[in-house]
């Protein structure tokens, strides 16, 4: 992907999506109560934001409008929190809206450059116990609902990696053996992990 094309994609994708850094939303533990009072982004007259997410492990797929008129939409947001749940523990927590806005921007870029398709979600929220079981190396961001492991189908791994770098906000984990990527809202950093052992730090 040429750099000017990537810059165009970024501008196009963000035309209707505020950058995560501009949005500060604090959540309470319960899903429904986290939606009230409304979290508004001043001056935003953006179209409703929908996410298309498939979770193969749970055999679930959703298309949910989680944001409209600058306000979190209860039904859509709760549906997303549910599909992001810890499947082993059967537990969920509110997922950071900034992560969802990042996913929205990425999904727009994928739809514009390739065609609309769901994000394949492999891991979202994790309890500490589940994180130990799966050997997670970035526990805090998964505990906090600020991370996911994912891939876009129909794109090569290299194309997925280019997309991830274009939209990198915080952490970017590259898992070639698993064919997946990790992203989070933590400090900006990149790492490559083969199997379960961290093998190299990119930067
Ligand atoms: Zn992860």
Report pLDDT for 135: 78
Kindly give the distance from the C-alpha atom of residue 176 to the centroid of ligand 1, in angstroms, as a whole number.
13
Domain assignment present for 29 = no
Alpha-carbon gap, residue 160 to 154, rounded angstroms: 9
Alpha-carbon gap, residue 10 to 112, rounded angstroms: 10
Of 132, 131, 125, 144, which Cα lies nearest the Cα of 55? 125
Residue with the larger pLDDT of the pair 202 and 59? 59
Looking at the structure of the chain, the number of domains it has is: 1
Alpha-carbon gap, residue 177 to 94, rounded angstroms: 29
Q: Kindly report the average pLDDT of the chain as a whole number.
A: 83
Kindly give the distance from the C-alpha atom of residue 37 to the centroid of ligand 1, in angstroms, as a whole number.
30
Domain carrying residue 129: 3-17+40-168
For residue range 106-134, what is the model confidence (pLDDT) as tens digits?
999 999 999 999 999 999 999 999 988 88
- How much is the average pLDDT of 23-33? 41
Report pLDDT for 24: 33
Domain assignment present for 179 = no
Domain assignment present for 23 = no
Counting every residue written for the chain, the total comes to 203
Q: Would you call the peptide bond into 37 cis, given omega within 30 degrees of 0 as the criterion?
A: yes
Beta bridge partners of 64: 51
Kindly give the distance from the C-alpha atom of residue 184 to the centroid of ligand 1, in angstroms, as a whole number.
8
For residue range 167-200, what is the model confidence (pLDDT) as tens digits?
999 999 999 999 999 999 999 999 999 875 444 4
Domain assignment present for 130 = yes
Report pLDDT for 57: 97
Domain assignment present for 103 = yes
Q: Which segment of 30-44, 66-80, 89-103, 164-178 scores lowest on mean pLDDT?
A: 30-44
Report pLDDT for 21: 36
Report pLDDT for 56: 98
Alpha-carbon gap, residue 64 to 75, rounded angstroms: 8
- How much is the average pLDDT of 9-35? 44
Kindly give the distance from the C-alpha atom of residue 66 to the centroid of ligand 1, in angstroms, as a whole number.
22
Domain assignment present for 162 = yes
Domain assignment present for 192 = no
Domain assignment present for 199 = no
Kindly give the distance from the C-alpha atom of residue 172 to the centroid of ligand 1, in angstroms, as a whole number.
9
């Amino acid at each position: 992907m040429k750099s000017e094309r990537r810059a165009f994609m970024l501008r196009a994708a963000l035309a209707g999506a505020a950058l995560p850094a501009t949005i500060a939303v604090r959540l309470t533990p319960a899903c429904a109560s986290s939606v009230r009072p409304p979290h508004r982004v001043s001056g935003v007259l953006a179209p409703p934001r929908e996410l298309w997410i498939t979770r193969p492990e749970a055999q679930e797929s959703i298309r949910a409008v989680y944001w409209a008129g600058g306000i979190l939409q209860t039904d859509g947001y709760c549906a997303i929190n549910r599909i992001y749940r810890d499947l082993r523990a059967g537990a969920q927590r509110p997922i950071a809206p900034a992560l969802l806005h990042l996913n929205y921007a990425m999904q727009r870029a994928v739809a514009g450059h390739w065609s609309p398709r769901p994000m394949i979600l492999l891991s979202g929220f994790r309890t500490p116990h589940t994180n130990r079981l799966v050997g997670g190396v970035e526990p805090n961001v998964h505990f906090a609902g600020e991370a996911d492991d994912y891939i876009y189908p129909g794109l090569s791994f290299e194309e997925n990696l280019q997309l991830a770098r274009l939209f990198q906000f915080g952490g970017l984990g590259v898992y070639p053996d698993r064919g997946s990527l990790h992203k989070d809202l933590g400090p900006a950093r990149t790492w490559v992990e083969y199997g379960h052992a961290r093998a190299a730090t990119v930067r």
